[in-house]
Amino acid sequence: MRNAALMLGIIGGLWAMVVGFFGYGYTSFIEQNGEAGDLFQQVDHPFVIKAASFLAPILAIAGAAMARSLNIPAGVLMLASAVAIWLAFGFGVFTMFPIAMCGLGGVLALAARQPDSH
């Protein structure tokens, strides 16, 4: 289970990084260039988007890196990443996989009792 948590956390963190690049880039673009009518409008809380864009992938990948040795903190970090993505970006077509992978990786890391057998 720890190996599965590791893989899910890495894949979820990489997808969260892609979502984060676009979220951070969009909010920064609107801040610098202004809104364009109904087509491009600033989000309600750009700081939340920027913070989650930066922190969620780091939490997921750091949790994945710890999954084999320290499963409880790893699970907490991956679940925190899933929650950050969900709260900042919502559940949609581009966020469902990072949320699901980080969340399942966190649950598997928390559920792992013994080291994986080789």
In angstroms, the CA 64 to CA 57 distance is: 10
pLDDT at 31: 86
- How many CB atoms lie under 10 A from the CB of residue 17? 17
What range does the domain containing 45 cover? 2-111
Q: What is the mean pLDDT of residues 108-118?
A: 77
Asked whether residue 36 carries a pLDDT value surpassing 90, the answer given is no
Q: Give me the helix-helix angle, 96-111 and 71-89, nearest 10°.
A: 160
Q: Which helix (H) or strand (E) holds 99?
A: helix 96-111
Asked whether residue 35 carries a pLDDT value surpassing 90, the answer given is no
| 87 within domain boundaries | yes
Checking phi first, is residue 97 left (phi over 0); if not, alpha (psi -120 to 50) or beta?
alpha
The number of domains in the chain is: 1
| 116 within domain boundaries | no
Quote the pTM value: 0.89
Which tokens is 19 given?
């979502």
- How many CB atoms lie under 10 A from the CB of residue 49? 21
Asked whether residue 43 carries a pLDDT value surpassing 60, the answer given is yes
| 19 within domain boundaries | yes
| 76 within domain boundaries | yes
Name the average pLDDT for the chain: 91
Which tokens is 86 given?
């969900």
Higher pLDDT, 115 or 67: 67
Asked whether residue 115 carries a pLDDT value surpassing 70, the answer given is no
